[in-house]
Amino acid sequence: MSDRFSIVIICKNEAAGIERVLESIKDVSTDIVIYDNGSTDDTIDILKKYPVKVYQGEWLGFGKTKKKAVSLAENKWILSLDADEALDQQLQQQLRSIELTDPKIVYEIKFKNFLGNKYLRWGEWGGDKHIRLFNTDFVNWDDANVHEQLIIPSGIKTQRLSGYILHYTMKDMVEYSHKMVHYALLNAEKYYAQGKRAGWIKRYVNPVFSFINHYIFQLGFLDGWRGLVAARMTSFYTFLKYTRLWELHSRNK
Nearest CA-CA partner of 111 in 171, 161, 170, 54:
161
Domain boundary among 127, 142, 170: 170
How many domains, the chain? Answer: 2
What pLDDT score was predicted for residue 166?
97
Question: Is the same domain home to 157 and 181?
Answer: no
Which residues in the chain show pLDDT less than 70? Answer: 253
Measured CA to CA, the distance from residue 110 to residue 105 in angstroms comes to 17
Residues 152 and 188 reside in one and the same domain: no
CA nearest to 52, candidates 75, 68, 29: 29
Helix axes 173-193, 224-251, angle to 10 degrees: 30
SS3 24: helix
Range of the domain at 212: 173-251
The strand pairing partners of 150, in sequence order, are 141
Q: Residue 92: which residues within 8 A CB-CB, separation 6 or more?
A: 24, 25, 27, 28, 163
pTM of the model: 0.90
Half-sphere exposure of 152 (CA within 13 A, CB side): 18
Q: For residue 147, what pLDDT is reported?
A: 87
Q: Are residues 188 and 157 in the same domain?
A: no
Are 84 and 133 within one domain?
yes
Question: Is 161 in the same domain as 186?
Answer: no
Residue 50: DSSP 8-state: S
Helix boundaries (H) for the chain: 18-25, 43-47, 62-70, 89-97, 173-193, 200, 206-212, 224-251
Q: Among residues 143, 170, 197, which one ends one of the domains? A: 170
50 lies in the same domain as 10? yes
Same domain, 18 and 116: yes
Domain check: are 122 and 54 in the same one? yes
CATH number, domain with residue 156: 3.90.550.10
Task: Report whether 113 contacts 31 (CB < 8 A).
Answer: no
Which of 170, 204, 220 corresponds to the end of one domain?
170
Asked whether residue 102 falls in the same domain as residue 198, the answer is no
Sign of CA dihedral 25, 31, 37, 41: positive
Instruction: Answer yes or no: do 157 and 182 share one domain.
Output: no
CA 77 – CA 120 distance, rounded (Å): 30
Q: Is residue 104 domain-shared with residue 196, that is, in the same domain? A: no
194 and 152 housed in the same domain: no
Spatial separation of the C-alpha atoms in residues 228 and 236, rounded to whole Å: 12
- Residue 216 one-letter amino acid: I
